[in-house]
Amino acid sequence: MKWGIAVFEILVGILLFVLLLVVCSVLVSEYLFKMIIYRQKKSSCQKDIDAVASWYRHYPIAKTGRLWLENMPYINVYIKSFDGLRLYGALLENEKFSDKIIICVHGFTGSGKKDFASLARTYYLNGYNVLLVDNRAHGQSEGKYVGFGVLDRLDLRNWVKYTVNRFGSNIKIFLHGISMGGATVLMASSIMPKNVRGIIADCGFTSVDEIFEYVLKRDYHLPRFPIIYLTNIMSKIRAGYGYKDVNTAAEIAKSDIPVLFIHGENDEFVPLWMTMKNYSYCKAYKELYIVKDSEHAESHYIDKKGYERRILTFIEKISK
């Protein structure tokens, strides 16, 4: 009798422990989902430079770019996403007629005008039209859930269509993305029309699944299962996409668009091996530019002259 009671108590204890684990896993998953997938608000002190991990080191350069952009007569542009959201972009039409335009895609929690102000100045002064887009759930675009490139790639296709309609069928389009934007332009590479002549991908990740697993281990010291599994289900139900719906590296393998891959040597947010993996899958013409002593998304600030020389040379080379 006592043995039976003891077994019963052990089974109840195991059941309660398992139940506690399930509840804790669901709560942690819900917390992470809200932290990552829900639209985020940035503190005002980072308003001028969101894409850079060590933003405070480069604030003066970023502020100069932002002030320049604010004084430029850019055009506010709005289009509809594939699922009906109102998306925003800032268009800089060059005073000199140009048959080229750069579409710039920002990183997580950033916006086009924040993350690309300095580079927009570089492109514009070198004769290019520039379109700075705000991804869904960022900046002035609508959206409750971040697309992490999976949904943004389809939005980007709409931006390309808008560009062709505005500038004509002979317009040459180049995509430049940083961090999440870098992954977005690579994910979109397989569904782009012939007008897209080249892609610049700065520190883009390999897939949503792999970057989430990496961040989960690095920041929270948690195993993949069951957190990734649960947040993936939440994402499918609420945001409309799963973490494995689109694989960055696999999409690159399908594309013939030339790519310039850029990554910071000391990037701990999106590790360098992810760009190396993306690079290895690329079958088209490709170049690789690793910036020494650069952390996440700060390559342009660490080696400003070298960075600008590489992107401009790459564009001119593949434009011929």
pLDDT of residue 2: 59
Whole-number CA gyration radius for the chain: 22
* Per-residue pLDDT of the chain in tens (320 residues, 90 and over written 9): 556 666 666 666 677 656 666 667 778 888 888 888 999 875 433 444 444 556 677 878 888 888 999 999 999 999 999 999 999 999 999 987 789 999 999 999 999 998 999 999 999 999 999 999 999 999 999 999 999 999 999 999 999 999 999 999 999 999 999 999 999 999 999 999 999 999 999 999 999 999 999 988 988 888 888 889 999 999 999 999 999 999 999 999 999 999 999 999 999 999 999 999 999 999 999 999 999 999 999 999 999 999 999 999 999 999 97
pLDDT of residue 112: 95
pLDDT of residue 6: 66
pLDDT of residue 299: 94
CB 149 within 8 A of CB 248: yes
pLDDT of residue 63: 83
As beta bridge partners, residue 286 has 259
How far is it, in rounded angstroms, from Cα 303 to Cα 181?
20
Return the ∠ at Cα 30 (arms to 178 and 84), rounded to 5°: 55
pTM value?
A: 0.92
Helix axis angle for 304-319 and 117-125, nearest 10°, is 50
pLDDT of residue 283: 96
CB 228 within 8 A of CB 213: yes
Of 243, 288, 259, residue with least CA distance to 36: 243
